[in-house]
Amino acid sequence: MATNAFDNLLKRARSNPRHIVLAEGEDRRIIEAAGRLVEDGIASLTLLGRERIIRERAAESGLPDLPVAVMNPADSDHREDYARNIYALRKNRGVTLDDARDLAADPLFFANMMVRLGHAGGSVAGAHYTTSDTVRAAIQVLGMKEEYSLVSSFFIMLFGEPYHVLDGALIFADCGLVVEPDAAELAQIAIASADTARTMLGMEPRVAMLSFSTHGSARHPLADKVIAATERVREQRPDIVIEGEVQLDVGIVPEVSAHKAPGSQIAGRANVLIFPDLQAGNIGYKLVERLANAMAIGPILQGLAKPSNDLSRGCSADDVYRVTAVTVVQAQSKER
Residue extents of the structural domains in the chain: 4-143+304-335, 152-291
- 152-291: what fold? Rossmann fold (3.40.50)
Question: What's the confidence (pLDDT) of residue 9?
Answer: 85
Note whether 243 and 209 are within 8 A (CB).
yes
Do the domains 152-291 and 4-143+304-335 match in fold? yes
CATH fit for domain 4-143+304-335, picks 3.40.30.160, 3.40.50.10950, 3.40.50.1240, 3.40.50.261: 3.40.50.10950
Question: What's the confidence (pLDDT) of residue 1?
Answer: 40
Question: What's the confidence (pLDDT) of residue 243?
Answer: 92
Question: What's the confidence (pLDDT) of residue 23?
Answer: 96
**88-101 pLDDT per residue, tens:** 999 899 899 999 99
**250-307 pLDDT per residue, tens:** 988 889 888 888 888 888 899 999 999 999 999 999 998 888 888 888 889 999 999 9
Question: What is the greatest pairwise CA distance in the chain?
Answer: 65
Measured CA to CA, the distance from residue 150 to residue 48 in angstroms comes to 28
Residue 10 parent element (H or E): helix 4-15
Measured CA to CA, the distance from residue 103 to residue 89 in angstroms comes to 12
Question: What's the confidence (pLDDT) of residue 4?
Answer: 67
**For the whole model, what pTM was predicted?**
0.87
Q: Which alpha helices (DSSP H) does 16-165 contain, by range?
A: 28-39, 51-60, 79-90, 97-104, 107-116, 131-142
Question: What's the confidence (pLDDT) of residue 45?
Answer: 97
